[in-house]
């Protein structure tokens, strides 16, 4: 099986509940190849992001690649970013609920409360440590992918099981609201 034949670990797989390990040598060719493959893989899967644990690799790596699509028509466009060894330095107290889905939980959506702004630090693929503030959708996306590195899933954050629905029901609900 090549890297691009990865199977996404789905809800119930123990890998999704284990904290990931730090990346020790970012410049290592295997690490750089992994980043390239994750970038290609997330585009193939039409995802907004992918975390290494979702494909069975227990490393603190995720890709963010926000772009408008059928599931998130108002998502901002951003250049794909390789995020290594991230930390969230500060969570805003202002919370916002919005719908999330996940490649590891196909067919489900949930209304998830998240901080509307976060200050983060992470290593780039060049080994540079950067600090940045994300707001709105990008803050949500970062928190979602970061959770994968901590062994958490978006459904862990819902306030009520009434905030979880199938993708089909979610689409029907949205169409009646439009």
Domains held by the chain: number: 1
- Domain, as residue range, for 84: 3-177
- Let me know if 96 is a catalytic residue: no
**What per-residue confidence (pLDDT) applies to 5?**
78
C-beta separation of 124 from 82 below 8 A: yes
Determine if residue 13 is labeled as part of a ligand binding site: no
pLDDT in tens, 90-102: 999 999 999 999 9
pTM score:
0.93
DSSP label at 20? P
For CA atoms 41, 43, 44, 45, give the dihedral sign: positive
pLDDT in tens, 60-89: 999 999 988 777 878 889 999 999 999 999
Give the percent of the chain with pLDDT over 90: 80
pLDDT in tens, 127-148: 999 999 999 999 999 999 999 9
Residue 1 has pLDDT above 60, yes or no: no
Element (H, E) at 36: helix 29-44
Q: How far apart are CA 41 and CA 28, in angstroms?
A: 20
pLDDT in tens, 148-158: 999 999 999 99
Residue 53 has pLDDT above 60, yes or no: yes
Element (H, E) at 91: strand 81-91
Catalytic residue among 7, 10, 96, 145: 145
CATH number at residue 133: 3.90.45.10
Determine if residue 65 is labeled as part of a ligand binding site: no
């Amino acid at each position: 099986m090549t890297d691009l034949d990865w199977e996404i670990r789905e809800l119930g797989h123990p890998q999704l509940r284990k904290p990931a390990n730090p990346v020790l040598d970012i410049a290592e060719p295997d690490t750089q190849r992994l980043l390239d493959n994750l970038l290609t893989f997330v585009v193939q899967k039409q995802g907004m992001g992918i975390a290494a644990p979702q494909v069975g690799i227990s490393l603190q790596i995720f890709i963010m690649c926000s772009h408008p699509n059928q599931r998130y028509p108002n998502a901002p466009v951003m250049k794909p970013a390789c995020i290594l060894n991230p930390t969230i330095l500060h969570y805003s107290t202002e919370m916002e609920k919005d719908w999330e889905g996940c490649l590891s939980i196909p067919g489900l959506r949930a209304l998830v409360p998240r901080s509307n702004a976060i200050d983060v630090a992470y290593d780039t693929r060049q080994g540079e440590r950067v600090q940045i503030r994300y707001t709105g959708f990008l803050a949500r996306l970062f928190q979602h992918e970061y959770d994968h590195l901590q062994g958490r899933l978006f459904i862990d954050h819902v306030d009520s099981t009434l905030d979880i629905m199938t993708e089909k029901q979610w689409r029907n609900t949205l169409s009646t609201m439009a």
